[in-house]
Chain A
Amino acid sequence: MSTDADLQVEVTNLVYREAMLLDRRRWDDWIDLYTEDATYWVPAWASEEDTTDDPDTQLNLIYLRNRGGLEDRIFRIETRDSYASYPLDRTVHVVSNVLVENVDGDTIEATANCLVHSYGKKGSLTRGGMYDFTLTRINGDLKISRKKIVFIDDRLEGPIDVYHL
């Protein structure tokens, strides 16, 4: 197998693994996929055609500046004190179209698509999104140092949290 093909498999496995860990609620393992300084960004729609693109001056659905923001979300779920998170929706992520877009030393840019089917007390919903990953190789392992999710739905039904995305 060529180096490109190895990398493709490695990146695809990481993207699949993240989906699996979210759906199986293995939160600590999920958080471990991210670097300490990872940014996690879900822009808002600024118009029918464009999302917001500058977090310093524009609104986002989620903009977390480091892994602590993800830890907050998990803390919240695990307290069982969050109205929106107890009982927790069940989810199935179907992730595909994984493409390695750029490799620069230990930094890899990749894209993927997701369909997330969720089921909760109001019934089931399927939502779609596009992932932009920046992956960084640290001590041999690929970690997520940036994830941007363009959530195509612009009229959201019910609460949304990291496990829906």
Chain B
Amino acid sequence: MDGDTVMRDFASMVDDRVDEGMFRIDRSIYTDEVVFDAEMDNIFESSWIFLCHENQIARHGDYFATEMGRQPVFISRQEDDSIGCFINACSHRGALLTPLKQGNAKVLTCRFHGWSYNCAGRCLQIKNQDTGFPEEGFDRTHFNLRPIAKLENYRGFIFGSLSEDVPTLAEHLGPAAKWIDLLADQSTKGLEVVPGSSTYVIRGNWKLQAENGVDGYHVSTVHRVFASTIVNRQAKEEHTGMKKTEAGRITGQVISRGYDLGGGHMSICAQHTTPEVRPIYERRDELRGRLPEADVDWILNRGRNLYLFPNMLLMDNPSTQIRLMKPVSAGMVEVTVYCVAPIGESKDARAARLRKFEDFYLTAGMATSDDVAALEDCHDGSFAYASKWNEFNRGLSEMIEGGDEDANTLGFEPATTSMDWDHETLFHGMYRQWRKLMTNGK
């Protein structure tokens, strides 16, 4: 290591002694900027991360600008309909090449000195090339944009890695792939990202957001007020059909599960008390005609949250969303939420899906706003090094190695199962993967 690098023992920050009944995390992993920089190096800039949905770059020339860790990239739809992902910096002096977050340009021309590139990253033109570079032996391909090391598409969800030294995407996703299938299978025409999104910053660490997305235990406290608001509303006016929002899952009186899916991925699910109010319910017969019974049961009857290590949450609960996380610093994460929906659903189902999304999933909504406030408090509390451990032992004595009967029937093999989403052993998987990557134990 460099002489001026501050040393940290990352392995010791995950105290994994499950055999002795103890799994705990050093809270400084949320607050320490040295840890953050190492996470950028070892996780976000050297392993698979989620980039975007293919529907966001549907046509030739469409681009989607984002970051992989600290590094700007853009994903583009190329002339042959394939997808490319390139470092988003002009090969000349480094200006970002995309004027917008999302747009369409078959040729990207740098707005600084006018160099231009096609969607496949090829340097097409250098302004006044003749007057500055020798005619003999000049190789413009030297200035082609640098593609990222790995780029793969799983059922429309595009993932990339800046490092070559990673497993295949299928190996990376493992049993989490089945949870993506449960969303992707909802329409034979695929999924679409609905126009409009919301970006917000949480003044807290990215891992707190990651945990929160699959933390069943907080629902009956933090979202108790969402449930009571809905009950209050429904008592005042007649709500029927898809306009109704159910409160049963929130009060915790339903069957639930938590799964450590390996590879840092985790998921939770809970039974819907009123599946008929869900937008997907209108497609039940069509789903039953083409999918196995267990898949249809999970799609219609179970609200599901999936965390894909390290930067994405995929949720199918009152509504459906992609939540993309971009860590800014140890104390800040930028989150963008998109409503993702089956192509071809009815107008009523789409409108109901959007209203449920707005009620719950936004910082201007009535649930995510409370999550954000709670996470910001967790972040501030994590400076209490005098009491430095977060324990994740709840449910340990009842944890099942491998899958339960439901997992076996659906056909995925988790590392462990919790029979109650109030249990917290699924987080072991996330932090074991964190430790593995942080100690270069790929």
B100 touches A155 (CB 8 A): no
Please provide the 3 A-B residue pairs with the shortest distance between their CB atoms, ordered closest to farther. A59-B196, A159-B369, A44-B196
In the assembled complex, A92 has its CB within 8 A of some CB on chain B: no
B354 touches A59 (CB 8 A): yes
In the assembled complex, B96 has its CB within 8 A of some CB on chain A: no
Within 8 A of B (CB), among A49-87: 51-52, 55-63, 65, 68, 71-73, 75-76, 79, 81-84
A55 touches B354 (CB 8 A): yes
Q: A47-B100, A79-B225 are in contact. List 10 more A-B contacts (CB 8 A).
A: A57-B350, A59-B338, A59-B357, A61-B358, A62-B365, A63-B358, A81-B224, A84-B369, A155-B334, A158-B363
Residues 363-378 of chain B, each 1 if its beta carbon lies under 8 Å from chain A, else 0:
1111001111110110
- The closest CB in chain B to the CB of A157 belongs to B201
A157 surroundings in chain B (CB, below 8 A): 200-201, 203
Q: A73-B366, A156-B201 are in contact. Are A79 and B228 (CB under 8 A)?
A: yes
Partner of B363, one of A43, A55, A154, A159: A159
B358 touches A60 (CB 8 A): yes
B373 touches A155 (CB 8 A): no
Q: A52-B196, A83-B370 are in contact. Are A62 and B225 (CB under 8 A)?
A: no
Chain A residue total in the interface (Cβ 8 A): 39
What CA separation (Å) do A122 and B232 show in the bound complex? 31
What CA separation (Å) do A52 and B354 show in the bound complex? 12
In the assembled complex, A45 has its CB within 8 A of some CB on chain B: yes
27 residue pairs bridging A and B, Cβ less than 8 Å apart? A44-B197, A45-B196, A57-B195, A57-B354, A59-B195, A59-B197, A59-B338, A59-B339, A60-B354, A61-B198, A61-B362, A72-B232, A72-B233, A75-B229, A76-B225, A79-B229, A82-B225, A82-B366, A82-B369, A82-B370, A83-B370, A83-B371, A83-B377, A122-B376, A155-B200, A155-B201, A159-B369
In the assembled complex, B144 has its CB within 8 A of some CB on chain A: no
What CA separation (Å) do A149 and B229 show in the bound complex? 23
In the assembled complex, A28 has its CB within 8 A of some CB on chain B: no
In the assembled complex, A103 has its CB within 8 A of some CB on chain B: no
In the assembled complex, A142 has its CB within 8 A of some CB on chain B: no
- Closest Cβ of chain A: how far from B353's Cβ, in Å? 10
Residues 150-165 of chain A, each 1 if its beta carbon lies under 8 Å from chain B, else 0:
0000111111110000
Within 8 A of A (CB), among B319-365: 334, 338-339, 347, 350-351, 354-355, 357-358, 362-365
B363 surroundings in chain A (CB, below 8 A): 156, 158-160
- The closest CB in chain A to the CB of B353 belongs to A59
Q: A72-B366, A75-B229 are in contact. Are A159 and B372 (CB under 8 A)?
A: yes
In the assembled complex, B171 has its CB within 8 A of some CB on chain A: no
In the assembled complex, B166 has its CB within 8 A of some CB on chain A: no
- The closest CB in chain A to the CB of B372 belongs to A159
- The closest CB in chain A to the CB of B102 belongs to A47
- Closest Cβ of chain A: how far from B420's Cβ, in Å? 23
Partner of A161, one of B198, B224, B358, B369: B369
Partner of A154, one of B199, B225, B358: B199
A43 surroundings in chain B (CB, below 8 A): 196
B351 touches A58 (CB 8 A): no
In the assembled complex, A94 has its CB within 8 A of some CB on chain B: no
- Closest Cβ of chain A: how far from B428's Cβ, in Å? 26
A68 touches B233 (CB 8 A): yes
Q: A47-B100, A76-B366 are in contact. Are A84 and B373 (CB under 8 A)?
A: yes
A15 surroundings in chain B (CB, below 8 A): none
B196 surroundings in chain A (CB, below 8 A): 43-46, 51-52, 58-60
What CA separation (Å) do A120 and B339 show in the bound complex? 29
Q: Which one of B195, B222, B338, B339 has the greatest number of beta carbons of chain A within 10 Å?
A: B195
- The closest CB in chain B to the CB of A79 belongs to B225
B373 touches A83 (CB 8 A): yes
In the assembled complex, B236 has its CB within 8 A of some CB on chain A: yes
A155 touches B236 (CB 8 A): no
B195 touches A52 (CB 8 A): yes
In the assembled complex, B180 has its CB within 8 A of some CB on chain A: no
What CA separation (Å) do A25 and B272 show in the bound complex? 37
A56 touches B102 (CB 8 A): no
What CA separation (Å) do A57 and B352 show in the bound complex? 10
In the assembled complex, A33 has its CB within 8 A of some CB on chain B: no
Residues 130-142 of chain A, each 1 if its beta carbon lies under 8 Å from chain B, else 0:
0000000000000
In the assembled complex, A6 has its CB within 8 A of some CB on chain B: no
Within 8 A of A (CB), among B198-252: 198-201, 203, 222, 224-225, 228-229, 232-233, 236-237
